[in-house]
């Protein structure tokens, strides 16, 4: 990611946060919370039963994303399934950010790949 | 047909790679050991190279590459966290976006670029984070069936998972979800007491015996609601991690009489008492969770993993409580171990490799000696190339006697022998060793070798068959994951009241507490490693020789590094550490190097500035 791309990506992430996500905060605070923030005296237990108690073969493959479009689609599908259409609407914008933020790590030249074989 | 799987954990803290072939663990190592950058989070290219070499394969022969975490679910959590926290969470969101959307999401690209291909499957597979922890604990364990308990800071949404492993694989039935986390609660106190989150937790645990649980009630009344069944919730009003880069907030400060301790400043009675208080709460929670896991699973044995499972004081209590017949804990319980767990999970859960059990009833982790080894010929070539004087003793018993005699004479020795350990502890393959009988050895080793003052005693290694002579311990503890009491007749009582009124920890620590002062903590406990001859014959032989010479079958074992440095990997790393410190003797396989014979060691720059404190 070049510094120009970096600037663009940062601006887009900022827009995503302030224009798309922050407006959802009020809703979350008004009661549609995504998770509990503290104790619930009426609860008999705080354990959450997992829907799927085992990993299927499909579960191993599901998170693979070849590019940002696939990521956007999978994210939207995840949020539709979990009953969060308000977030699913933000998925394309997040995918665009992912495309801009993509940062292949630089190879660190100081470290020899053969360091463990010594010579 | 054979199935070979590479597991990877990276992009968070302490990257690692592991390789599993037909269910057998072939190799595993942390990236930091090769890159020499402590807790290196980068894609583990060196560790991967090593794993492939150890297995004698090329990347295109891999059946699968498996990542230990689901980035989609992790992103789901980050987004929901930031929406809940609102505007103050922007900075956190920006950082998380860069790391998840910019890096973690593209793990398949990193793998392709590093390896040149994606193996036979042509894509990266993923496991859920706690399934990876669970697999790292269950599959290598000696139990055909077991209850599973995983506990960490957070992985995707889960912070705690309870389930069961048997011939049908792994099932995780119940979880506790973010932000409610025992790992994060403990890390909050680690931060508040001035230690580094993610690595200083060990120090907090070591500090606890100096304190009294005077804040326990406050913690229970305000910070955590712990149910009888072990499930819990934190009160997020007191924590900072939802919307800032601090673990705690002003309300937390107010609860405990002021702001967090500044790192490196003097440790006060408050920190000692806080450490003891949160330790007490954690232990209670772990015992309740374990009882629940026993009831739910119906299994007589327990396996554990996740960063909280490295709390060996809690583990020791759990063992003595007798809730389970037997307990086995994965030594690489932090996220590095996720690489091994991911590979094992895919081997059994995706490819259907049959599980390997040890016919002798022990585990299949090979003593956790899963990293690179160096032959005597490689060591000698290195020494001769640099002209470093050495003495070679080929006879293993003769060598053990010579080294044991040096220890008995008070010499501090760097010991590199066999394959490097996987996980945070040195277990005799990359260790600094010394005589635990000496009253001054603890401060000598701390000041002259580790360059730190420490309130923590060193850990002892003893022969598996006579651990009970020294400790109240009747099971193996090969991975230094159990704290046990030093036997009462060995202890020297002291005035507890004066102790609790004393703020000068060094005065306390320098007071002998048993006939093994360097390894006995102020509460007369020790973090024991029992050594089995099958796991590490050379290390076993050495302790046996020390016993023959001194009558004591126990030695000090501390990691082979200076403070803030990753544990050494190669003979070159070991030699450098040896020469930078005041160690007397260095053992590199069958070669012995005496400091007094070595040429002067010149280095550019001050290496002490290279390493950060935990
Ligand atoms: Fe974890």
Mean pLDDT of B322-344: 97
Question: Do B301 and B381 share a structural domain?
Answer: no
Question: Do B339 and B388 share a structural domain?
Answer: no
Q: How confident is the model at residue A113 (pLDDT cuts 50, 70, 90)?
A: very low
Instruction: Chain B: give the shortest CA distance to residue A32, in Å.
Output: 10
Question: Do B588 and B459 share a structural domain?
Answer: yes
Chain A CB contacts of B229 below 8 Å? 45, 47
Question: Do B354 and B429 share a structural domain?
Answer: no
Residue B125: which of A48, A60, A104 has the nearest Cβ?
A60
pLDDT at A109 over 70: no
pLDDT at B323 over 70: yes
Q: Say which CATH number the domain at B380 has.
A: 3.90.870.20
Question: Do B215 and B120 share a structural domain?
Answer: no
Please give the structure tokens belonging to residue A93. Answer: 């914008």
- B269 within domain boundaries: yes
Write the pLDDT tens digit of every residue in B125-169: 999 999 999 999 999 999 999 999 999 999 999 999 999 999 999
Residue A1's pLDDT is 52
- B141 within domain boundaries: no
Q: Say which CATH number the domain at B126 has.
A: 3.30.420.40
Write the pLDDT tens digit of every residue in A11-47: 999 999 999 999 999 887 777 789 999 999 999 999 9
pLDDT at A2 over 60: no
Chain B CB within 8 Å of residue A71 CB: yes
Residue A7's pLDDT is 84
Residue A27's pLDDT is 80
pLDDT at A119 over 60: no
Note whether B125 contacts A64, CB cutoff 8 Å: yes
Note whether A50 contacts B174, CB cutoff 8 Å: yes
- B145 within domain boundaries: no
Q: Which residues surround ligand 1, an ion (CB under 5 A)?
A: B 152, 155, 335
Chain B CB contacts of A37 below 8 Å? 84, 179, 235-237
- B17 within domain boundaries: yes
Distance, in Å, from the CA atom of B271 to the CA atom of B277, rounded to the nearest integer, reads 10
Please give the structure tokens belonging to residue B35. Answer: 């890159």
pLDDT at A49 over 50: yes
Question: Do B87 and B235 share a structural domain?
Answer: no
Note whether B97 contacts A13, CB cutoff 8 Å: yes
Chain A CB contacts of B126 below 8 Å? 60-64
Residue A105's pLDDT is 61
How much distance in Å is there from the Cα of B258 to the middle of ligand 1? 31
pLDDT at B614 over 60: no
Chain A CB contacts of B346 below 8 Å? 60
Distance, in Å, from the CA atom of B528 to the CA atom of B469, rounded to the nearest integer, reads 13
Chain A CB within 8 Å of residue B65 CB: no
Question: Do B336 and B322 share a structural domain?
Answer: no
Mean pLDDT of B200-209: 92
Residue A116's pLDDT is 33
Q: Please, which residues have CB within 8 angstroms of residue A98's CB and are 6 or more apart in sequence?
A: A68, A71, A72, B101, B102, B105
Please give the structure tokens belonging to residue B2. Answer: 């054979």
Average pLDDT, chain B: 94
Please give the structure tokens belonging to residue B563. Answer: 């403070």
Chain B CB within 8 Å of residue A88 CB: no
Question: Do B340 and B404 share a structural domain?
Answer: no
Kindly report whether the global pTM for this prediction surpasses the value 0.90: yes
Residue B291's pLDDT is 98
Q: Please, which residues have CB within 8 angstroms of residue B307's CB and are 6 or more apart in sequence?
A: B151, B152, B153, B183, B201, B333, B334, B335
Chain B CB contacts of A105 below 8 Å? 42-43, 103, 110
Say what percent of chain A tops pLDDT 70: 82
The winner for highest mean pLDDT among B443-452, B545-554, B599-608 is: B545-554
Instruction: Output the CA–CA distances (angstroms, integers) from residue B223 to B36, B103, B208, B219, B235, in the order listed.
Output: 38, 34, 19, 5, 5
Domain ranges of chain A: 1-33+66-101
Residue B506's pLDDT is 67
Question: Domain count of chain B?
Answer: 3
Best of B80, B101, B170, B352 to substitute, by most chain A Cβ atoms within 10 angstroms, is B101
- B147 within domain boundaries: no
Give the number of C-alpha atoms closer than 13 A to the C-alpha of residue B210, restricted to the C-beta side.
26
Among chain A residues, the shortest Cα distance to B289 is held by A47
- B457 within domain boundaries: yes
pLDDT at A115 over 60: no
pLDDT at B316 over 80: yes
- B400 within domain boundaries: yes
Question: Do B99 and B45 share a structural domain?
Answer: yes
Question: Do B348 and B302 share a structural domain?
Answer: no
- B468 within domain boundaries: yes
Question: Do B470 and B407 share a structural domain?
Answer: yes
* Structural domain ending residue among the three candidates B364, B388, B410: B364
Chain A CB within 8 Å of residue B169 CB: yes
Say what percent of chain B tops pLDDT 70: 98
Q: How confident is the model at residue B604 (pLDDT cuts 50, 70, 90)?
A: low
pLDDT at A96 over 60: yes
Range of the domain at B477: 376-610
Residue A118's pLDDT is 34
Residue A100's pLDDT is 93
């Amino acid at each position: 990611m070049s510094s120009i791309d970096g600037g663009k990506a940062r601006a887009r992430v900022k827009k995503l946060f302030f224009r798309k996500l922050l407006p959802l905060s009020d809703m979350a605070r008004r009661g549609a919370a995504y998770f509990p923030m503290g104790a619930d005296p009426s609860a008999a237990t705080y354990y959450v039963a997992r829907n799927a108690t085992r990993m299927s073969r499909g579960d191993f493959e599901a998170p693979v994303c070849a590019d940002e479009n696939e990521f956007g689609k999978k994210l939207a599908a995840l949020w539709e399934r979990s009953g969060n259409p308000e977030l699913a609407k933000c998925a394309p914008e997040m995918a665009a950010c992912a495309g801009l933020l993509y940062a292949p790590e630089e190879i660190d030249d100081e470290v020899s790949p053969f360091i463990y074989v010594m010579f | 047909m054979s199935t070979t799987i590479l597991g990877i954990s990276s992009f968070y803290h302490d990257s690692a790679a592991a390789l599993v072939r037909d269910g057998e663990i072939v190799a595993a190592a942390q990236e930091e050991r090769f890159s020499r950058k402590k807790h290196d989070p980068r894609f583990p290219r060196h560790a991967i190279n090593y794993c492939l070499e150890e297995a004698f394969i090329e990347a295109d022969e891999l059946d699968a590459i498996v990542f230990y975490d689901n980035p989609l679910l992790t992103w789901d959590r980050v987004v929901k966290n930031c929406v809940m926290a609102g505007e103050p969470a922007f900075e956190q969101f920006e950082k998380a976006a860069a790391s998840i959307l910019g890096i973690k999401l593209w793990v398949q690209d990193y793998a392709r670029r590093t390896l040149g291909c994606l193996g036979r499957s042509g894509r990266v597979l993923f496991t859920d984070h706690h399934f990876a922890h669970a697999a790292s604990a269950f599959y290598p364990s000696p139990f055909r069936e077991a209850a599973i308990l995983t506990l960490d800071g957070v992985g995707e949404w889960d912070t705690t998972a309870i389930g069961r492993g048997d011939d049908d694989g792994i099932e995780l039935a119940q979880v506790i979800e973010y932000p409610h986390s025992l790992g994060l609660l403990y890390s909050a106190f680690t931060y508040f007491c001035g230690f580094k989150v993610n690595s200083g937790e060990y120090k907090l645990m070591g500090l606890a015996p100096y304190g009294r649980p005077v804040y326990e009630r406050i913690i229970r009344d305000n910070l955590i609601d712990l149910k009888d069944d072990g499930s819990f919730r934190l009160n997020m009003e007191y924590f900072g991690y939802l919307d800032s880069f601090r673990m705690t907030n002003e309300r937390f400060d107010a609860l405990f009489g002021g702001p967090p301790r500044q790192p490196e400043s003097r440790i006060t009675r408050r920190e000692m008492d806080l450490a003891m208080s949160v330790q007490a709460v954690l232990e209670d929670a772990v015992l309740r969770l374990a009882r629940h896991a026993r009831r739910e699973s119906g299994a007589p044995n327990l396996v554990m993993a996740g960063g909280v499972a490295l709390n060996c004081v809690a583990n020791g209590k759990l063992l003595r409580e007798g809730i389970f017949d037997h307990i086995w804990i994965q030594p690489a319980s932090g996220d590095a171990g996720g690489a091994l767990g991911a590979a094992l999970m895919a081997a059994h859960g995706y490819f259907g490799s049959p599980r390997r059990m040890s016919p002798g009833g022990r585990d299949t982790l090979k003593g956790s000696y899963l990293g690179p080894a160096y032959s005597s010929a490689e060591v000698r070539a290195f020494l001769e190339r640099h002209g470093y004087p050495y003495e070679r003793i080929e006879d293993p018993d003769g060598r053990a006697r010579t080294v044991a005699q040096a220890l008995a004479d008070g010499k501090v020795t760097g010991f590199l022998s066999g394959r490097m350990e996987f996980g945070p502890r040195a277990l005799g393959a990359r260790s600094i060793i010394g005589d635990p009988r000496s009253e001054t050895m603890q401060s000598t080793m701390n000041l002259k070798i580790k360059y730190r003052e420490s309130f923590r005693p060193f850990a002892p290694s003893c022969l598996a068959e006579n651990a009970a002579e020294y400790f109240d311990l009747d099971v193996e503890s090969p991975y230094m994951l159990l704290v046990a009491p030093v036997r009462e007749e060995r202890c020297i009582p002291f005035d507890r009241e004066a102790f609790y009124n004393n703020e000068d920890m060094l005065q306390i620590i320098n007071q002998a507490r048993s006939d093994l002062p360097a390894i006995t903590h102020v509460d007369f406990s020790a973090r024991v490693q029992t050594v089995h001859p099958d796991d590490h014959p050379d290390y076993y032989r050495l302790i046996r020789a020390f016993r023959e010479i001194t009558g004591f079958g126990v030695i000090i074992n501390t990691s082979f590094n200076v403070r803030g440095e990753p544990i050494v990997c190669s003979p070159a790393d070991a030699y450098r550490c040896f020469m930078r410190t005041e160690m007397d003797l260095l053992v590199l396989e069958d070669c012995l190097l005496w400091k007094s014979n070595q040429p002067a060691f010149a280095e550019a720059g001050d290496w002490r500035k290279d390493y950060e404190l935990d």
